Structure 1
């Protein structure tokens, strides 16, 4: 009994004392924001047809659907072209800043608003990866995904160094950003824009906004450490819970996909992979598709292997080595799907979801390799500076009538 109590106590301490998986949460932040950014940029010339007020899925149709499913989308607040362009550009900006890890708590909320606004405006625009991105954008709000590999981590490190030198550190950007977004949130709520919408999104927006205020006030006004410790525990529990939900969501996707495949006759006879390779919509490289489907044995092995891997993956989480092998297989499979079937954003979304299971030592080595590569590039750039770009050793004085 004492041993059980100690185990429970150690588990509670582990969940509350730290935000687990800092590298995993950072890599899914980068993965999902990069996926959404690439999609927005690729579809920028076609944004009107996808989500614009004059698209095939008209304003009236979207309004009828939203009145029944209560989905949130800021694009339904106005049917003007200027509002659509503003929302689209803000979605791009929030995604870039989240990718860089600048004010990740705020940018994760704006990232969620951008994803939901565009996807709920035209629900039929997607290839399956949009559903994954839709859910993950909500979960990211509750994670502390800027602990590493972010501008937030860099700013925190510099602030700690400044405090160690006895300097006073004052953050003016954070309160200003909070005030601007708070004014917008109050205006939207008072204007009735949340009326008839599922309350989940408005509650999350208000919860995060009020939580940021409490965090700022406690961090600067509390005379003892207990309030700060309590808020840190709440943030850690929310982060760890959200990370667990992300992992469970990924397992559920693979488990349901695998078990539904088992029930299909084409998956049972080993020919299911052959058919999408010969659909015009999924054949950007017909010659490559023909090459892959030329061997019946290969088609059968890929078909059965896909089902086995998807069904078995959730059960391999208890064995690290087997899990890592299947994880590599699934990521490779998604990379092949991106090229062969022309589904890059679906594959990127699934690879980003899979990244939550990557081992921490591997992610640390990956980060160290990226830092070394960056250092070599910067060093090489500074050494190979062109002669005409260098300042002359004895510059001649500028003429009296020079614009300089």
Structure 2
């Protein structure tokens, strides 16, 4: 028993588990948030800005009461809103690419919380999931694979190489100091951001001056523990979402009589494809099966996470369910957010296989780009003027993380 506990502790503290799952979750949520902000860019002032129905005074009163975090209430000026919105877009893109993920994950969280807490009634349910996952992603080492950080670490031998990271954290530290000294940051949020900044500073110092020492190893263990805890919390959150949704549906009369799906299919607001929605709503058997099937899958999923085969089966069903919601009910960002959350349970073998297939598709493209031009003389090949042959030392420079 003691030996098993020792092995389990060594595994939890010795490595960041689920590198592919955390990468998919990172890409999924960052991409969903990015696409949402870009789609709503023309209406950004009505959603989160000064022209919205949720006025500055109402937002300030709510934030004062619930102590939520938003930097949009630091200034009522229009340029400040544009700056925060632009930084939220940039943070989503950079986090999806996995560039300086320790810093961009914090910027991503700041952007999500700032915009959503400014106008709390804007969203379709998926915003609540993004809200939670934005905070959990800060704890994870979600750029171990499929990221620019992983590529840089492979090419340079250190993920901390370059001056961009220290400069970025320096700017964040200056903003943190300003917010704390001016009283715009509450004590709790100031402590949270100060802890994140201090941890990043200690990590940079250890990697720069003691890359193979004990302090660096201790920080690595702490980072692994935080990552694994964050991944566990994400999995528990997904199970809680489905369990809560399923059990609440059981208590609703519309879900009991099998008509809960029928009414949304008849509402103009939820019918981007009226003909398709009408055809489904016209079949009582299909509506009943979809309604009961949704309840069964949501209630059963938390109890099947320890059974790999059943879990994978229900996971596929839920992904298809969310894809159907995106098409039939016109809720694409809710569905993308839920699929990104479900990705934490995807099997590693499937993700590795998908990554290998994507890498295999890129190899022919690189080979075609490097192939020398054909010579008009048989048996000869000519190189374009000024071009050089491929550098053997850079043969892996384009590989994904």
> Structure 1 residue 95 and structure 2 residue 92: aligned?
yes
Please say if residues 176 and 190 of structure 2, whose CA atoms lie closer than 8 Å, have aligned partners that are also in contact: no
* Pairwise CA distance, 1:382: 6.2
For residues 41 and 354 of structure 2, the distance between their equivalents in structure 1, rounded to whole angstroms, comes to: 32
Whole-Å separation in 1 of the counterparts to 2:43 and 2:211: 55
> Structure 1 pair 292/192, CA: closer, same or farther in 2 (3 Å)?
same
Confirm or deny that 1:179 pairs with 2:162: no
Shift of 1:203: 2.5
Secondary structure class of the residue paired with 2:157: helix
Aligned residue for 1:397? Answer: none
1:9 equivalent in structure 2: 6
Deviation at 1:47, TM superposition (A): 0.2
Q: What RMSD in Å do the two structures reach over aligned CA positions? A: 2.1
Q: Give the aligned partner of residue 55 of structure 1.
A: 52
Count residues in correspondence.
378
What does residue 184 of structure 2 align with?
193
Partners of 2:254 and 2:223 in 1: CA distance: 47
1:376 to 364, 369, 372: 364
User: Could you tell me the TM-score, scaled by structure 2's length?
Assistant: 0.90
Q: Determine the structure 2 residue equivalent to 1:66.
A: 63
2: distance between equivalents of 1:150 and 1:209?
A: 22
Of 194, 199, 204, the residue aligned with 1:211 is: 199
Query: Does 2:40 match 1:43?
Result: yes
User: Which secondary structure state, in structure 2, belongs to the residue aligned with residue 317 of structure 1?
Assistant: coil
Counterpart of 2:246 in 1: which secondary structure? helix
Of residues 337, 342, 353, the one that matches 2:341 is 353
**Deviation string, structure 1 residues 184-216 (Cα, Å, up to 9, x no partner):** 211221111114xx71x3322111110011112
Q: Alpha-carbon deviation of 1:332?
A: 0.5
3-state SS of 1:207 partner: helix
1:381-392 equivalence runs, <5 A: none
Q: Which residue of 204, 227, 234 corresponds with 1:239?
A: 227
Question: How far apart are the structure 2 equivalents of 1:392 and 1:380?
Answer: 14
Gaps of 5+ in 2: 374-382, 387-401
- Post-superposition shift, 1:384? 11
2:391 is matched with none
Match of 1:249 among 231, 237, 257: 237
Q: Per-residue deviation at 1:379? A: 4.1
Deviations 1:115-156 (A, max 9, x none): 000000000000000000000000000000000000000000
Q: 1:57 to 1:175 in 2, by over 3 A?
A: same
Q: 1:240 to 1:178 in 2, by over 3 A?
A: same
**Superposed displacement of residue 17, structure 1:** 0.3
Output the CA distance in 1 between the equivalents of 2:253 and 2:68. Answer: 36
Structure 1 position 290 matched with structure 2 position 278: yes
Q: Which residue of 1 aligns with 2:257?
A: 269
Per-residue CA deviations over 1:86-118 (Å, capped at 9, x if unaligned) read 000011011111010000010000000000000
Q: Distance in 2 between matches of 1:88 and 1:295?
A: 45
How far 1:381 moved relative to its partner? 5.8
Show CA shifts across 1:288-308 (max 9, x none): 101112211111111111000
Residue 278 of structure 1: which of 253, 256, 266 is its match?
Answer: 266
Q: Residue 212 and residue 270 in structure 1: after superposition, are their counterparts in 2 closer, same or farther (change >3 A)? A: same
Runs of at least 5 residues in structure 1 that lack an aligned partner in the other structure: 163-168, 386-390, 395-404
Residue 132 of structure 2 aligns with which residue?
A: 135
